[in-house]
Amino acid sequence: MRFPRSSGVLLHPTSLPGPYGSGDFGPAAYHFVEWLLTAGQKMWQILPLGGIGPGNSPYMSSSAFAGNVLLIDLDDLGSQGWLTAEELPQHPDFDPRRINFAAVHHYRLGKLHLAARRFFADTQSHEEYETFCQAEKSWLEDYSLFMALAEKFQWQEWNQWEPDLARREPVALRRAIAELSEEIGFWNFCQWCFYRQWNRLKQYANERGIQIIGDIPIFIAYQSAEVWARPDLFELGRDGTPSVVAGVPPDFFSETGQRWGNPLYRWQVHEQEGYAWWIERMRKTAALVDIVRIDHFRGFAAYWEIPATEPTAVNGRWLPGPGEKLFGVIKAVLGRLPIIAEDLGVVTPDVVRLREKFRLPGMRILQFAFSGETDNPYLPHNFVANTVVYSGTHDNDTTCGWFACAPQRERVFVCKYLGSDGSEIHWDLIRAASASVADIAIYPFQDILGLGSEHRMNLPGKQSGYWEWRFSWDQVDASHAGRLCEITAAHGRCPVERLNLPT
């Protein structure tokens, strides 16, 4: 699928300003939409919206369908009468530039519990809530029961729960549903709030011509509702623990590879069911966002299987993924969805064939371009139009940080290639991306602000200390939007009238 020539900004909602320790769907999100308009942008790219897992990663979600409840705007709950202003003081451990996840989780969950109790105590009609619960029943019932049980068992992995609950014995499930009805209702309430607020924010953006690029991780966490509910769909041993796990072999980011630890799929079982689980997952994601970025696309052609006993990703093996069969069924059932393929890493011919067969745009990262070979596929002169170009992604250092640490050969080459002295390397890469033939250009917000390595979002292979970055509006001035708008207009990614050329 070809996209109109356009550009946008990569910023996860958790990085937005706000008074409650992390960004959310509150006023700052709407202000950011307005900033995008001022800057001539047409797209807002975000990371996965699911709940966070180990290391606070949004790529280790506790559900393939549920939203991250930490993104719920607490002030909106106050406007509904479920919280009071006196109940929303700022926590002393909140930092406007970093997320203290432990403090945020404790604070926000406490406020959400209080709001839920008031909501359910209200005798007025709960028709909108009940309609949501019925419409999302296929995943919501398992998710809310899973979360209630996880809390009951102090967040032990589900195979450590009482055996009859781990095995989902019907009698035990009925008993748990009766015992935990209040907590199940709480998680239902949180998901209703999440979807209600997100849909409103997305509509606000869409009405102003801003499309949302969402992100669907190829894998989900072991400690998740879907792995517990459908263990037959995953490569688990007889005791319910993963026998093999996901990751990638040694690469640009890590000499020992990346051992993600997610359970792998039993693709033969998915195929026998007509890939129904994946069809539903793609359907829900496509309804949540405007364009779907499929993370680790190469894993659908072939994936790296690591024995669960291995401490690193070095000793693994490649196995064939579902490839054309899966994407053919998705296309047949859901039509041609607007998809971006994250085709980074070890890109072999089978990955290219799969992407090209379904006409999916791949990704090009400018920070990977300047190793010194002119045939490097990440150099702009080697692009094709059906491409999405980034100065860097959430897994890269910021452009300023990358340039400061790059080998001298790389620094010299990028300056010669771009005709730059390196003093504004972030704007140089943004300009190169914008000027390229790529249909879509995306820039991390850190690069627009010219921030250094201490502001990077993630470092692949590191289990803690990341996903914490936030900005504050005092870091942003009118020149950022103005300069980005001029670059965007000059390269045909927004109307040329935005250049204010003399008549």
Active site residues: 295, 342, 395
Tokens of 191: 């998901």
Vertex 458: Cα angle to 302 and 30 (nearest 5)? 105
Cα–Cα distance measured from residue 384 to residue 417, given in angstroms and rounded to the nearest whole number? 19
Element (H, E) at 363: strand 362-365
Cα–Cα distance measured from residue 97 to residue 16, given in angstroms and rounded to the nearest whole number? 9
Angle between helices 101-121 and 181-207 (to 10 degrees): 100
Q: Are 73 and 24 in contact (CB under 8 A)?
A: yes
Give every CB contact of residue 26 below 8 A, 6+ residues apart in sequence.
Answer: 18, 73, 74, 75, 76
Element (H, E) at 188: helix 181-207
244-248 sheet: strands from edge to edge: 258-263, 244-248, 302-307, 317-320
Label each residue of 415-463 as H, E or C.
HHHHCCCCCCHHHHHHHHHHHCCCCEEEEEHHHHHCCCHHHCCCCCCCC
Cα–Cα distance measured from residue 196 to residue 136, given in angstroms and rounded to the nearest whole number? 13
Tokens of 48: 């996965």
Cα-Cα end-to-end distance for the chain: 37
Q: Residue 98 gets which letter from DSSP?
A: B
Residue 50 CA, chain-centre distance (Å), reads: 8
Residue among 324, 322, 293 nearest 45 (CA): 293
Q: Are 294 and 214 in contact (CB under 8 A)?
A: no
| Main-chain phi, psi angles of 14, to 5 degrees | -65, -20
Tokens of 450: 């010219």
Tokens of 267: 């693709």
Tokens of 478: 């009118």
| Main-chain phi, psi angles of 248, to 5 degrees | -135, 150
238: left (phi over 0), alpha (psi -120 to 50) or beta: alpha
Q: Are 277 and 271 in contact (CB under 8 A)?
A: no
Q: Are 72 and 80 in contact (CB under 8 A)?
A: no
- Report the SS3 class of residue 157: coil
